[in-house]
Amino acid sequence: MSSNSSHRAESGDWCVYKFGGSSVGTPGRLPRVLSLISEARGPLAVVVSALGDTTDWLISAANAAARGDAAGSSAELTRVRSLAKTIASTVLEGAVLTAHEKTVEQLLAPIERLLTGVELTRECTPATLDEVLSVGERISSELVARALTARGIPALAVDARTFLVTDETAGSARVDIEASRARLTPLIPGWAGKVPVITGFIARSHQGRTTTLGRNGSDYTATLLSWLLGARQVTVWTDVPGVMTADPALVSDAYPVPRMTYAEALELAHFGTRMFHPRTMIPLLESGAALHIRGTTEPDAPGTRIDAEGNPDPHRPTSVTSLERLALLHVESLRPTLSEPLGPRVLQALEAARITVWGGTLSALAPSISLVVRQEEAQRAHAVLEAALRGECERREVRVPPPHAPVTLVTLVAESMGHRPNVAGRFFHALGNVGVNVRAILQGASSRSVSCAVDAEDTAVAVRTVHSAFNLNETEINVLLVGKGTVGGRLLAQLEENAKTLRARHGISLRLVALVDSRRALFEPRGVPPAEAHARLAEVSPSTVSPPDVRPLLDRLSRLSVPVLVDCTAADGMETLYAEAIRRGIHVVGANKKPLARPWKEYEGLHSLTRAHFRTWHYETTVGASLPVIETLKNLVRTGDRVERIEGCFSGSLGAICHALMKGLPLSQAVRTARANGYTEPHPRDDLSGLDVARKALILARELGLELELEDVAVEPLVPPEHLREEDPETFLRTLGSLDAEVSAQVARYREAGRSLRYLAQILPNAPGGPRVKVGPVAVDASHPATGLKGAEAMVSFFTERYREFPLIVRGAGAGGDVTAAGVLADILRLAQNVRGRR
């Protein structure tokens, strides 16, 4: 310590450290604080807050005393005393600890007498409360100074009241800089070779009365001290690693902003970032010192530096704040012109009533005005405005509706906003894209922020959405995957294989946060490596019900950015889960055809739900695996083309079976091979029955707006219906052997006639008598587009007004785990690109 002491004594280049209540008042953290102080170089002044929740307990003690509750007041002081003893015992021992405990009692004794007087008068004035609260920082200062000295680091407890001079305003006093400098200057020589540990938050008025600088005023003390000392830097040590891009309680992927300007910090302070005292920046603006926010639990992390320059990177991260428990007031003009502008009168009335206004549409010439005030002041503000505008209200020129509450003020703060186009557009587009209703657009005085009022219930989704739109170089998609069979398993593999490429080339981070099968459900909000998903799921205890209830997982998924439910099952009843997800603001990607083949009213109801909640439901793979069949049809319809006929082989599994039959393979072996290759449904009869193709045909017909039901599809199975009754897949495959000879003979006759067996679907939207949809086995001639299909290829031909002579054909692999999983992944990525929008 001697070398450090010498260095501090000789150098005039001061640094200031400030430690908050959680840093000095949480068991186990104070030793780290002492280490950080001992590692500092050069002259160092330390500012400390009260231990832990001491300030809250002192306020409670004063309130209890004012009610005449002596026992309650005493109990709160006991909590203060107990915490001080607990924390001291972690860093002091023996006689030093005893001496500190005596000091605590000496500090608390006059406070106890003061509170006794409050109990008698049943009144605690703001000035009295300031005196009560001052003891918290004084206890903390004494403890830290004594602990440093016990470790060989000479330190001195300094009461800021000895040099900080203020006006008489209780609770939020204003500092007289010149008077404070005059009192501090003669004290500095006495700090030579020592670490002054200074009380934050408190000061003394010109008349000698104890004052406070407002809640969180210790930061203000630190920056004031830096100005008075001419310090080059102030470091505020907190329990977070810097100024975060959003509240971590709302946005799990919020991260520290590396650099920002004083002006950005001032804007954040105004719009509710609790880290900043409203006046913290003023001394820094005057002195030019930098403010560094760092975390005591991560001292090696870079934290956030706040200075005049900020971050020169035009793509630097921004902060999103959410000021909650507010109310929205409107003043509406019922006439095109008024004798006197509304704006100034409204603001003057509220200012006279000492009601804080955070922002609004405040143009003096605006016919209507919106304002945001504290929720607890909403009714009084409403009454003030009605009184101020009583004449216009009586003449029905102006209306002042009741306040709308609760609302949250969501604000994007960034120095770069005034230098880049379309920031506000992206802000509101992002909110509109997820269905957040913007109640009012609130104008600030600078180009560094844009704000809006949203309903309190939309706070979390609004903050997450804006944060994702502006702060993530990668668009983060959080996936809950249901089903880990053939398609789900291959999707997990593709998520693992493509993760780096998606980040590097497309700026998309796909996080698997949940996996569900028929017996187990796994949820990990930080993400599960896809390669580990099967093993991690196997460690979970089986659910008492099968399948597990996924709804609790949806609640957790909805709190993450861009949540997506991915259905890779062929299960019944999934439409109910889809609806639950959509209502929670979750997007859906499904490879399951069954929800799309439900009765028309249910089908249309689910689509209406997605529109009402501004969610997306992608299901491209339900018809052609990874082939762009549905999107192609949508584009034809969107652009006004008239579809006259759709025809094709929609099933890659049946395509593979028919191709094998034409090659001479027996039916039973052809089906077994297709199943082994992952082409068929879990039960192959769903393919051979034609039901799977019928569902696909119905899906396409409904994309044309045809209000058809599954029963309206004429279906001819590939094998006689009596063979489709077997429930067990293995038994079903064995019984197919009885059809081998008959089917092979029929195929031979087709071959001799120059025809090929194909399972064909036809959709005729304009057929005489109404739309017709039919599926079944057909012997096509050599000129038919389906003749050339091989293996698991699928093909869809669109005959339209524009493509009448030469149909638009989509052809390619139509079955298999890999291609279907690729189609699901493509749907997820399409969703990601839509959410990401233009950066």
Q: What is the pLDDT of residues 526-575, one digit of tens each?
A: 899 999 999 999 999 988 888 888 999 998 898 787 899 999 999 999 99
| Confidence at residue 280, expressed as pLDDT on a 0 to 100 scale | 85
Question: Which segment of 31-40, 166-175, 396-405, 560-569 scores lowest on mean pLDDT?
Answer: 396-405
- Alpha carbon separation from 358 to 216, 282, 318, 350 (Å, rounded): 19, 20, 20, 12
* pLDDT higher than 50, residue 839: no
Question: How far apart are alpha carbons 26 and 6 in whole angstroms?
Answer: 32
Question: How far apart are alpha carbons 352 and 719 in whole angstroms?
Answer: 86
* pLDDT higher than 50, residue 6: no
User: Residue 605: what are its φ and ψ, rounded to 5°?
Assistant: -65, -40
Question: How far apart are alpha carbons 664 and 720 in whole angstroms?
Answer: 20
| Confidence at residue 252, expressed as pLDDT on a 0 to 100 scale | 76
Q: What is the pLDDT of residues 583-599, one digit of tens each?
A: 988 999 999 999 999 99
Query: Residue 465's pLDDT band (boundaries 50, 70, 90)?
Result: confident
Domains of the chain in sequence order = 2-239 (3.40.1160.10), 319-471 (3.30.2130.10), 475-625+824-836 (3.40.50.720), 629-814 (3.30.360.10)
Question: Do the Cβ atoms of 317 and 464 come closer than 8 Å?
Answer: no
| Confidence at residue 443, expressed as pLDDT on a 0 to 100 scale | 61
Instruction: For residue 696, indicate whether it is catalytic.
Output: yes
Question: Do the Cβ atoms of 346 and 331 come closer than 8 Å?
Answer: yes
The mean pLDDT value for 257-275 works out to 81
Query: Residue 610's pLDDT band (boundaries 50, 70, 90)?
Result: very high
| Confidence at residue 9, expressed as pLDDT on a 0 to 100 scale | 35
| Confidence at residue 155, expressed as pLDDT on a 0 to 100 scale | 96
* pLDDT higher than 60, residue 473: no
| Confidence at residue 827, expressed as pLDDT on a 0 to 100 scale | 94
* pLDDT higher than 60, residue 77: yes
Give exposure, 295-310, as e/b (b: 16+ Cβ within 10 Å). Answer: bbeeeeeebbbbbeeb
The mean pLDDT value for 728-732 works out to 91
* pLDDT higher than 60, residue 366: no
Beta strand 643-649 with 793-800: parallel, antiparallel or unpaired? antiparallel
Count of other CB atoms within 10 angstroms of residue 12:
10
| Confidence at residue 367, expressed as pLDDT on a 0 to 100 scale | 67
For residue 628, whether the previous peptide bond is cis, meaning omega lies within 30 degrees of 0, is no
User: Residue 268: what are its φ and ψ, rounded to 5°?
Assistant: -65, -40
- Decide: helix, strand or coil at residue 60: helix
User: Residue 516: what are its φ and ψ, rounded to 5°?
Assistant: -130, 135
Question: Do the Cβ atoms of 268 and 276 come closer than 8 Å?
Answer: yes
* pLDDT higher than 50, residue 4: no
553, 555, 559, 561: CA torsion to nearest 10 = 60
- Alpha carbon separation from 826 to 150, 327, 484, 831 (Å, rounded): 64, 43, 18, 9
For residue 721, whether the previous peptide bond is cis, meaning omega lies within 30 degrees of 0, is no
- Decide: helix, strand or coil at residue 330: strand
| Confidence at residue 609, expressed as pLDDT on a 0 to 100 scale | 95
Query: Residue 838's pLDDT band (boundaries 50, 70, 90)?
Result: very low
Query: Which token pair is 193?
Result: 């070779």
Question: Do the Cβ atoms of 578 and 606 come closer than 8 Å?
Answer: yes
Question: Do the Cβ atoms of 411 and 450 come closer than 8 Å?
Answer: yes
- Alpha carbon separation from 90 to 85, 93, 458, 529, 568 (Å, rounded): 9, 8, 44, 41, 55
- Alpha carbon separation from 571 to 594, 699, 733, 734 (Å, rounded): 8, 17, 21, 25
The number of CA neighbours under 13 Å toward the Cβ of 211 is 23
| Confidence at residue 86, expressed as pLDDT on a 0 to 100 scale | 95
Residue with the larger pLDDT of the pair 630 and 263: 630
Give exposure, 458-473, as e/b (b: 16+ Cβ within 10 Å). Answer: bbbbbbbbbbbbbbbe
| Confidence at residue 362, expressed as pLDDT on a 0 to 100 scale | 54
Query: Residue 626's pLDDT band (boundaries 50, 70, 90)?
Result: confident
- Burial class from Cβ neighbours inside 10 Å (0-12, 13-18, 19+) for residue 773 reads buried
Share of the chain above pLDDT 70, in %: 93
* pLDDT higher than 90, residue 267: no
Q: What is the pLDDT of residues 749-789, one digit of tens each?
A: 999 999 999 999 999 999 998 999 999 999 999 989 899 88
Question: Which segment of 94-108, 133-147, 399-413, 423-437 scores lowest on mean pLDDT?
Answer: 423-437
Q: What is the pLDDT of residues 219-235, one digit of tens each?
A: 999 999 999 999 989 99
User: Residue 231: what are its φ and ψ, rounded to 5°?
Assistant: -70, 150
For the chain, helix (H) and strand (E) counts, in that order, are: 30, 30
* pLDDT higher than 90, residue 792: no
Mean pLDDT, the chain, integer: 89
Question: How far apart are alpha carbons 529 and 533 in whole angstroms?
Answer: 6
* pLDDT higher than 60, residue 485: yes
- Decide: helix, strand or coil at residue 56: helix
Residues sharing a CB contact under 8 Å with residue 230, sequence separation 6 or more, in sequence order: 12, 14, 287
| Confidence at residue 441, expressed as pLDDT on a 0 to 100 scale | 86
* pLDDT higher than 70, residue 11: no
What strand order describes the sheet that includes 587-590? Answer: 521-523, 508-516, 475-482, 563-567, 587-590, 617-618
- Decide: helix, strand or coil at residue 741: helix
Question: How far apart are alpha carbons 668 and 665 in whole angstroms?
Answer: 8
Count of other CB atoms within 10 angstroms of residue 421:
7
Catalytic residue among 18, 194, 594, 696: 696
Against a cut of 0.75, is the pTM above it? Answer: no
The mean pLDDT value for 514-523 works out to 93
Residues sharing a CB contact under 8 Å with residue 679, sequence separation 6 or more, in sequence order: 652, 653, 656, 792, 815, 816
* pLDDT higher than 60, residue 702: yes
Query: Residue 416's pLDDT band (boundaries 50, 70, 90)?
Result: low
Query: Which token pair is 110?
Result: 């006059």
Give exposure, 622-655, as e/b (b: 16+ Cβ within 10 Å). Answer: bbbbbbbbbbbbeebeeeebebbbbbbbbbbbbb
Question: How far apart are alpha carbons 63 and 708 in whole angstroms?
Answer: 70
| Confidence at residue 93, expressed as pLDDT on a 0 to 100 scale | 93
* DSSP bridge partners of 195: 155
Would you give the DSSP letter of residue 539? Answer: T
Question: Do the Cβ atoms of 347 and 357 come closer than 8 Å?
Answer: yes
Report CA Rg, the chain: 36
The mean pLDDT value for 385-405 works out to 84
What are the percentages of helix, strand and coil residues in the chain, rounded to 5? 45, 20, 35
The mean pLDDT value for 283-305 works out to 90
* pLDDT higher than 70, residue 128: yes
Question: How far apart are alpha carbons 300 and 306 in whole angstroms?
Answer: 18
Question: How far apart are alpha carbons 706 and 696 in whole angstroms?
Answer: 14
User: Residue 103: what are its φ and ψ, rounded to 5°?
Assistant: -60, -45
* pLDDT higher than 90, residue 476: no
Question: Which segment of 46-50, 170-174, 296-300, 521-525 scores lowest on mean pLDDT?
Answer: 296-300
The mean pLDDT value for 354-379 works out to 77
The mean pLDDT value for 366-387 works out to 87
* pLDDT higher than 70, residue 420: no
* pLDDT higher than 90, residue 76: yes
Selection from 255-269, 284-298, 704-718 with the highest mean pLDDT: 704-718
Query: Residue 216's pLDDT band (boundaries 50, 70, 90)?
Result: confident
